[in-house]
Amino acid sequence: MIWSKVKNPITELRSTKLYTHLKQQNPTSAKKIELFVKSIVPTLSTIKDIFPLYTRHDANHSYRVCTRIEQILKKDCFNKKSSLNLSDTELFLLLAR
């Protein structure tokens, strides 16, 4: 399997709509998710060593899952004035999944 080059996980995180919306709503939670990602990246990078035939599940995979979630969610989930607006907790959990 050929894997694409992994970019900086924090750069990828910050480029997501989920993160951007979280940061607008709650900058403290945005910092916490950054710390979480920084702390989990080393562990995620070892999965290929333990399960060499397993689908890639590193920080880049997490980024791709976030971008897919953004494609699935309704636009109003990112609208503070909408009843569908995602809460800080929901955004954090989607980013941490």
The alpha carbon dihedral of 82, 19, 40, 71 has a sign of positive
The whole-number pLDDT of residue 1 equals: 41
Report the pLDDT value the prediction gives residue 38, as an integer from 0 to 100: 96
Three-state DSSP class for 13? helix
Q: Coil, strand, or helix at residue 4?
A: coil
Whether 5 has a pLDDT exceeding 70, the answer reads no
Tell which wins on pLDDT, 95 or 5: 95
Burial-class residue 16 by CB neighbours within 10 Å (0-12, 13-18, 19+): buried
Report d(CA 92, CA 87) in Å as an integer.
9
The Cβ of residue 17 has, within 10 Å, a number of other Cβ atoms equal to 17
pLDDT value for 7: 81
What is the tens place of the pLDDT at every residue in 36-75? 999 999 998 898 888 888 887 888 889 999 999 999 999 9
pLDDT in tens, 11-22: 999 999 999 999
